[in-house]
Amino acid sequence: MSKPANKTMIGIFVVVAIGLVVAGILILGSGKFFTDKPKFVMYFDGSVKGLAIGSPVVFRGVKVGTVTEIGMLFSKKDLSVLIPVYVELGEADVTMMDDSSPSAKKRDRKKILYEYLDALVKRGIRAQLEMQSFVTGQLQIALDFFPDKPARFVGDPSKYPEIPTIPTQLQELTKRVEQLPIEEIGRKLQSTLDGIDRMVNSPETTRMVRSIGQAADETRTLMRDVDRQLEPLIASIKKTSDEAGETLKKIRIVAGAIENTTGEDSVVVHKLNKTLDEMERASRSLRLLADTVEQQPESLIFGKKNLKGGTK
């Protein structure tokens, strides 16, 4: 007799089969494995360390593709090495701005990219390596427009369209530094330093420094002598000015008496008044000199300063 079938096992088998069918429908419906994504190639002449299969391709921050293969291309002609990187694009939805049809979003992405690639390249679209993570050092490929960068094609026969590449900012900076005439700059710098050393250590410079030091010492000695003699000089000038003032007062009294005796039109009185005026101006000049020397002692050596800071 045959053994009766296990209903539990039959139920499990049916559930698993239904699950597989549903999963297959979802996968096939999404087209994940059967979508024909457009493929492109890019050639880099620098290091691609940090770039791997599966690395993203982005356009202004939006992921539009994935790296599928990284190879190496060797030229026997000039012994140069290029790194071809193959990518699949079309992961982002592309909407045509000037297409008002309901199926605008459902257009064939492969057809769109192939159709407009030449125009995009002419407008300046370029591929450039970009840091994806500073922590892990992983790279990604960034697409953007650089109209000032000329398109450079390798021209290698391939079934994939080529997107031109440009170096990274670090590579451009390194190239510019390498192009600098470092040796010539170093020679000129060394020559300049040698000239400065010769000038500083030359006998003429030594004599000049010594002369400046001597002049400074003499100036300090002169200023000390002036300081010692300044107070007595100012006191003497003020005393002379005061005495002249007292003398003028007495002479004014005598002149008044003479004027009363001889009259205002007397020649003697006229000459006496003129002499007194001159003596009074001289007294004021002495007082002004004393005040100036007291406020600006250096005027005895360098002259009196004018209002603009110069000397008279």
**DSSP per residue, the chain:** -PPPP-HHHHHHHHHHHHHHHHHHHHHHHHTTTT----EEEEEESS--TT--TT-EEEETTEEEEEEEEE--EE-TTT--EEEEEEEEE--S----TT--STTGGGS-HHHHHHHHHHHHHHHTEEEEEEES-TTT--EEEEEEE-TTSPP-------SS-B--B---HHHHHHHHHHHS-HHHHHHHHHHHHHHHHHHHTSHHHHHHHHHHHHHHHHHHHHHHHHHHHHHHHHHHHHHHHHHHHHHHHHHHHHHHHHHHHH-TT-HHHHHHHHHHHHHHHHHHHHHHHHHHHHH-TTHHHH--B-TTS-B-
Q: Is the pLDDT of residue 85 over 50?
A: yes
What per-residue confidence (pLDDT) applies to 54? 92
What per-residue confidence (pLDDT) applies to 297? 63
Q: Is the pLDDT of residue 240 over 60?
A: yes
Q: How far is CA 120 from CA 2, 41, 126, 151, 274, in A?
A: 73, 15, 9, 11, 104
What per-residue confidence (pLDDT) applies to 86? 93
Enumerate residues 6+ apart whose C-beta is below 8 A from 165.
Answer: 42, 43, 44, 126, 127, 128, 152
Q: Structure pTM?
A: 0.49
Q: How far apart are CA 251 and CA 310, in angstroms?
A: 41
Q: Hey, what amino acid is at 106?
A: K
Task: Determine contact, residues 153/118, Cβ cutoff 8 Å.
Answer: no
Q: What is the mean pLDDT of the chain?
A: 75
pLDDT digits (tens, 9 = 90+) for 109-130: 566 677 778 888 889 899 999 8
Q: What is the mean pLDDT of residues 183-196?
A: 84
Q: How far apart are CA 21 and CA 178, in angstroms?
A: 62
